[in-house]
């Protein structure tokens, strides 16, 4: 069976599982349920089925299944696809681990290091972003007066809709060798020569943090805002020191917001394409450009798919890690 065949079968299985579950739930339901088309009418019912069906099947499930399937194939010219040479293989993953499709002698340090550095730095950036955003979110949610709050929200929205490339570009201007920041630091006599922010990837990390600051701030703000201010006052009256209040009163309550901000921030940082492209120094090896190169330098799509899946697995692991750590459900962090 070819890739598409596999994709259709797997998708059909997922659909079948869904309908089975629906039947099962209906069977267990307490109240008699009105049938779907009776409940919605033929017109709206058809719209709902088509809307969800097209969205899920054609833009999400089938492409994902296809990509997973493709990652277990060799790169072949179109004429040979589906032919006797089109066999399942782990070579693309072996390539990621060992740098060669045949030997397993030495690890593929170049890619592995890049992968783990990306994950590690993304986690660090997520934590730093949280540390920067938390006080502001708390201030806006619990302290600021209405007028101040409106102003702050307005100021926050402005950078939100500037895209990643322009943000990165702004940092390139600010942090270039003869850029504003170096001029400024030398001007006030703090440094003597220019600092190579770009070459040392400092600009990259700062810009990644900058890019996702707001994505961290908004969920945090929403979560902290939902807390009753009296609880915090009560803790303060009881003489709890400020760090204690934040750690044991505010943060547990804001847990879903924290988890959701961190998840978003991590995922977008690890999966960032634009920022590393614009700001990556010569020795930067963010993982996404490597994936990009599989596709548009080597034109080896199966291998690119395998690399993308590796990245996806890391993100899934992170999400599940966060859920496990916080004891939350998926529904609570995607509000």
Ligand X SMILES: Nc1ncnc2c1ncn2[C@@H]1O[C@H](COP(=O)(O)OP(=O)(O)OP(=O)(O)O)[C@@H](O)[C@H]1O
214-253 residues in contact with another protein (CB under 8 A) are: none
CA gap 51, 305 in Å, rounded? 28
Interacting partner of 93 out of another protein, ligand X, none (Cβ under 5 to 8 A depending on kind): none
- Which residues within the stretch 150-189 sit at the binding site for another protein (CB under 8 A)? 150, 154-174, 176, 178-180, 183
Is 128 near another protein (CB under 8 A)? no
Is 304 near another protein (CB under 8 A)? yes
CA gap 30, 39 in Å, rounded? 17
312, two tokens: 């996806």
Do residues 279 and 203 make contact, with C-beta atoms less than 8 angstroms apart?
yes
Closest to 14 in 3D by CA, of 61, 72, 77, 67? 61
* Closest CB 20 distance from another protein, rounded Å: 9
Give whichever of 26 and 104 is closer to another protein, judged by the CB atom.
26
- Binding-site size for another protein (CB under 8 A) equals 100
* Closest CB 29 distance from ligand X, rounded Å: 9
Give whichever of 130 and 210 is closer to another protein, judged by the CB atom.
210
Give whichever of 31 and 103 is closer to ligand X, judged by the CB atom.
31
Give whichever of 67 and 220 is closer to another protein, judged by the CB atom.
67
Do residues 155 and 263 make contact, with C-beta atoms less than 8 angstroms apart?
no
Which string of b and e fits 227-266 if b means at least 16 CB within 10 Å?
A: beeeebeebeeeebeeeebbeebbbebbbbbbbbbbbbbb
Under 8 Å CB-to-CB from 169, ≥6 apart: which residues? 278
- Which residues within the stretch 28-67 sit at the binding site for another protein (CB under 8 A)? 28-32, 36, 39-41, 43-44, 47-48, 50-52, 54-56, 58-64, 66-67
Interacting partner of 301 out of ligand X, another protein, none (Cβ under 5 to 8 A depending on kind): another protein
Interacting partner of 17 out of ligand X, another protein, none (Cβ under 5 to 8 A depending on kind): another protein
Under 8 Å CB-to-CB from 119, ≥6 apart: which residues? 270, 314
Is 17 near another protein (CB under 8 A)? yes
């Amino acid at each position: 069976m070819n890739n598409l065949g596999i994709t259709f079968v797997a998708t059909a299985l997922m659909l079948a599982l869904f309908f089975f579950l629906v039947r099962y739930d209906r069977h267990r339901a307490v109240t008699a349920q009105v049938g779907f088309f009776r409940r919605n009418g033929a017109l709206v019912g058809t719209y709902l089925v088509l809307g969800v069906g097209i969205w899920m099947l054609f833009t999400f499930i089938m492409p994902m299944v296809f990509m997973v399937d493709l990652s277990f194939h060799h790169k072949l010219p179109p004429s040979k696809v589906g032919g006797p040479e089109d066999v399942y293989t782990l070579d693309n993953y072996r390539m990621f681990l060992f740098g060669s499709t045949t030997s397993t002698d030495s690890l593929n340090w170049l890619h592995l290091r890049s992968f783990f550095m990306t994950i590690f730095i993304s986690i660090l950036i997520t934590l730093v972003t949280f540390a920067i955003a938390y006080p502001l979110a708390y201030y806006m949610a619990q302290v600021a007066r209405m007028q101040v709050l409106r102003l702050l929200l307005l100021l926050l929205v402005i950078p939100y809709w500037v895209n990643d490339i322009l943000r990165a570009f702004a940092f390139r201007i600010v942090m270039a060798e003869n850029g504003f920041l170096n001029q400024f630091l030398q001007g006030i006599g703090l440094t003597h020569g220019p600092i190579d922010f770009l070459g040392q990837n400092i600009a990259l990390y700062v810009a990644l943090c900058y890019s996702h600051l707001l994505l961290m701030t908004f969920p945090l703000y929403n979560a902290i805002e939902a807390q009753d201010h009296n609880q915090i006052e009560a803790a303060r009256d009881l003489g709890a020191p400020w760090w204690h209040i934040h750690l044991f009163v505010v943060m547990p309550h804001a847990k879903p917001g924290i988890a959701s901000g961190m998840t978003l921030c991590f995922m977008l940082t690890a999966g960032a394409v634009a920022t590393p492209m614009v700001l990556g120094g010569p020795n930067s090896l963010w993982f996404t450009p490597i994936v990009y190169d599989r596709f548009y330098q080597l034109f080896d799509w199966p291998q690119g798919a395998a690399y993308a899946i590796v990245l996806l697995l890391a993100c899934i692991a992170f999400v599940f890690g966060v859920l496990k750590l916080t004891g939350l459900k998926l529904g609570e962090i995607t509000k």
